[in-house]
C-alpha cells in the first residue's frame, strides 16, 4: 500500500513538473510570439538537412530562449512576407542540444551585446553574416535578393534624404511640408539613378533645414497611378513641389550637388528643347508622303526611291542634303529614271509599321507599287543617282552578330531583366552594329562566351541599343557610348567593366569572379 502511495505521489510530482514546464514554455513562446513559419532547430543533422533542402536560409542564433525576443518578433513578420522565397530558422544556443549545434558551426552568441546573431546560408553553404539594419524592410529586401545591393536608405551618407515608402506617406509629406520639396522617383536597378544618388544625397546634406530632398522607389506596380500622375516615363524623374503642389520637372541629369542646391534657391521650369528643324517641302524636289498619300503616290509613279526617317536621327540629318541634291538633279532631266520621296516614320506610323522598320534612315526602292529592294548603303547623292539610272540588287547584307551562331545571349528590353536574374555573373555588352570599336570587340567577347558555355551561373550577353525599345533600356542602364560593358549579379548592376577588350580581358575578368566565389565557399565550409 505504502509503495503504491509513493508511486502515486511520484506520478503526481512528475505530472506537476511537466505542467509547470509546459506552462513555462508556452509563456516563453507567447512572450516572443514565434511564428510557426520560423523553423526551430537544435539538432545538427536537422540543421544540415535544412540547408540541403532550402536554398535561402536566414538563421537567428540566440544566447538563451529570451535573448532574441526583439529579433523573433520582427522575424515573425518577415517570415510571413517572404513565405515561399526564403526560410527563417532559430537556434537557441542556451539549451543543451542547441549549445552543441552552435559549437559545431562556430557561433558564439555570448560575445554579442544583444545575445543574438544572424547568419545567412545560400545553396547549402554559409553565405554571409547579416549586418544590415534590423528593420522589416531591410530584412525582407535581403531575403528576396541576398546578393543584391543594400537599400538606398541603408547608406549612412543618405541620412539627409527623406526616404518615402508608400503613396500614403508621400501624400502626407506634401500636405504637411511647408518647405519646397524635390522628389527623386527612382528604380533600384536603374544605372542613372545609382550615379545620381550620391550627388543627390550630398545636395540634401548641403540644403538640410531649408529644403526637402526626398527619394521614392516607384518601380513596383502599386505605383502605376503615381507614375502616370507625375509623368514618370523613365528613371530617375525629379519633381519639384511647393506647398504640396507640383510645379516643375528638374531635368539636369548631369548636375553636381552644388548645381542642384543652387537650382533649389531659384527653381525654374526646364528650358524648352531646341525644336527639330522640319524638312522643308517647298525648297526641295523630294516628295513628302503621308499615311494617306503613300499608296496613291506609288500607283502614279512606276519607280520610286523612298527614305523612311525620324526627325531626331543623326544619320538622317546627315543624309537629307544629299537626298535633296539628288532630287534636284533628277528633276532637271527630261527622262528621269525615277523619283525620290521621304516619309517621317514617327508621324506616319501606319505605313512605318507596315514595313517593320528597325532603324533610320531606311531606304527602299519600289517598282510599280511593289517593294523591290532595301538599300542600306545608299547615302550619297552620286550613289542615289547612279542607282536610279541602273537599279541593281544590293549585295547580301553582312550577317548580323545576333544571327551568327554563338554562346552570347542577345537580349532586348522584353527579356533583359528576367534573363539576368538567373545568372550569378553576367557581363553585358551594350553596342551599336555600326560602331567600329564594337565590331573589334565582338570576336573576343564571343570567344569568352564559348569558354564559359558549360557554366550555368555565367552569361556573356549583348544588347543592340539601336534595335526596337532597347534604346530606352540602354539609357536606363547608364549607356553613354558604345561599347559599354556592365557586370550584373543576379540581375543587379554591380559595376562597369573598363578592362582590356580582348579575349584575355573578358576571360580573366570572369575567372577572377569565379575564383573569389570558390574562395568564399571553401572558407565557409572550413568554418562549418
Catalytic residues: 190, 193, 313, 316
Q: Which residue has the cell 550613289?
A: 383
What is the bridge-based pairing of β-strands 287-288 and 339-344? Answer: parallel
The residues that bridge with 211 in the sheet, in sequence order, are 208
- Distances in Å between the Cα of 199 and the Cα atoms of 109, 130, 357, 377, 525 are 40, 28, 39, 44, 41
The Cβ-side half-sphere exposure at 382, using a 13 Å CA radius, reads 0
Q: Are 510 and 449 in contact (CB under 8 A)?
A: no
E strand residue ranges, 169-267: 181-186, 212-217, 237-242, 245-250
DSSP 52-90: HH-SEEEEEEESSSSTTHHHHHHHHHHHHHTTTT-EEEE
Question: What DSSP designation does 219 have?
Answer: -
**Length, in residues, of the chain:** 528
Q: Are 344 and 310 in contact (CB under 8 A)?
A: yes
Residue 276: alpha-carbon gap to chain centroid: 32
User: From CA 388, how far away is CA 386, in angstroms rounded?
Assistant: 6
Amino acid at each position: 500500500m505504502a509503495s503504491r502511495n509513493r508511486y502515486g505521489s511520484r506520478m503526481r510530482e512528475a505530472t506537476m513538473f511537466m505542467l509547470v514546464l509546459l506552462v513555462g514554455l508556452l509563456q516563453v513562446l507567447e512572450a516572443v510570439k514565434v511564428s510557426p513559419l520560423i523553423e526551430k532547430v537544435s539538432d545538427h543533422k536537422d540543421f544540415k538537412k535544412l540547408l540541403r533542402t532550402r536554398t535561402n536560409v536566414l538563421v537567428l542564433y540566440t544566447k538563451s530562449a529570451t535573448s532574441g525576443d526583439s529579433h523573433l518578433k520582427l522575424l515573425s513578420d518577415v517570415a510571413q512576407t517572404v513565405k515561399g522565397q526564403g526560410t527563417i530558422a532559430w537556434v537557441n544556443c542556451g539549451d543543451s542540444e542547441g549549445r552543441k549545434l552552435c559549437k559545431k558551426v562556430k557561433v558564439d552568441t555570448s560575445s554579442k551585446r544583444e545575445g543574438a546573431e544572424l547568419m545567412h546560408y545560400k545553396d547549402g553553404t554559409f553565405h554571409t553574416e547579416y549586418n544590415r539594419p534590423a528593420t522589416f524592410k531591410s530584412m525582407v529586401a535581403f531575403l528576396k535578393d541576398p546578393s543584391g545591393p543594400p537599400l538606398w536608405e541603408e547608406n549612412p551618407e543618405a541620412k539627409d534624404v527623406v526616404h518615402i515608402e508608400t503613396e500614403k506617406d508621400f501624400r502626407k509629406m506634401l500636405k504637411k511640408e511647408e518647405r519646397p520639396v524635390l522628389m527623386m522617383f527612382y528604380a533600384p536597378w536603374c544605372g542613372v539613378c545609382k550615379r545620381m544618388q550620391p550627388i543627390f544625397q550630398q545636395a540634401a546634406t548641403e540644403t538640410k533645414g531649408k529644403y526637402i530632398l526626398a527619394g521614392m522607389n516607384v518601380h513596383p506596380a502599386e505605383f502605376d497611378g503615381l507614375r502616370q500622375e507625375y509623368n514618370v516615363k523613365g528613371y530617375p524623374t525629379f519633381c519639384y513641389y511647393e506647398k504640396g503642389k507640383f510645379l516643375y520637372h528638374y531635368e539636369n541629369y548631369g548636375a553636381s550637388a552644388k548645381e542642384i542646391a543652387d537650382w533649389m534657391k531659384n527653381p525654374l521650369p526646364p528650358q524648352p528643347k531646341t525644336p527639330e528643324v522640319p524638312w522643308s517641302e517647298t525648297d526641295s524636289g523630294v516628295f513628302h508622303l503621308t499615311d494617306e498619300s503613300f499608296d496613291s503616290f506609288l500607283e502614279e509613279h512606276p519607280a520610286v526611291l523612298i527614305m523612311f526617317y525620324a526627325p531626331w536621327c543623326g544619320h538622317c540629318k546627315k543624309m537629307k542634303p544629299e537626298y535633296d541634291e539628288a532630287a534636284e538633279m533628277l528633276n532637271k532631266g527630261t527622262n528621269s529614271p525615277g523619283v525620290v520621296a521621304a516619309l517621317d516614320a514617327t508621324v506616319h506610323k501606319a505605313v512605318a509599321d507596315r514595313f517593320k522598320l528597325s532603324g533610320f534612315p531606311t531606304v527602299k526602292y519600289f517598282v510599280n507599287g511593289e517593294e523591290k529592294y532595301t538599300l542600306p548603303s545608299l547615302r550619297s547623292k552620286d550613289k542615289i543617282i547612279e542607282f536610279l539610272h541602273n537599279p541593281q540588287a544590293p549585295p547580301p547584307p553582312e550577317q548580323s552578330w545576333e544571327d551568327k551562331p554563338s554562346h552570347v545571349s542577345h537580349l532586348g528590353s522584353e527579356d533583359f531583366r528576367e534573363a539576368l536574374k538567373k545568372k550569378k555573373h553576367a557581363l553585358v555588352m551594350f553596342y551599336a552594329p555600326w560602331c567600329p570599336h564594337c565590331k573589334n570587340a565582338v570576336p573576343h567577347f564571343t570567344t569568352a562566351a564559348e569558354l564559359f558555355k558549360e557554366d550555368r551561373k555565367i552569361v556573356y550577353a549583348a544588347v543592340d541599343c539601336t534595335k526596337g525599345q532597347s534604346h530606352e533600356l540602354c539609357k536606363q542602364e547608364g549607356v553613354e557610348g558604345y561599347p559599354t560593358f556592365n557586370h550584373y549579379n543576379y540581375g543587379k548592376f554591380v559595376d562597369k567593366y573598363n578592362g582590356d577588350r580582348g579575349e584575355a580581358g573578358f576571360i580573366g575578368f570572369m575567372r577572377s569572379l569565379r575564383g573569389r566565389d570558390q574562395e568564399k565557399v571553401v572558407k565557409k565550409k572550413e568554418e562549418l
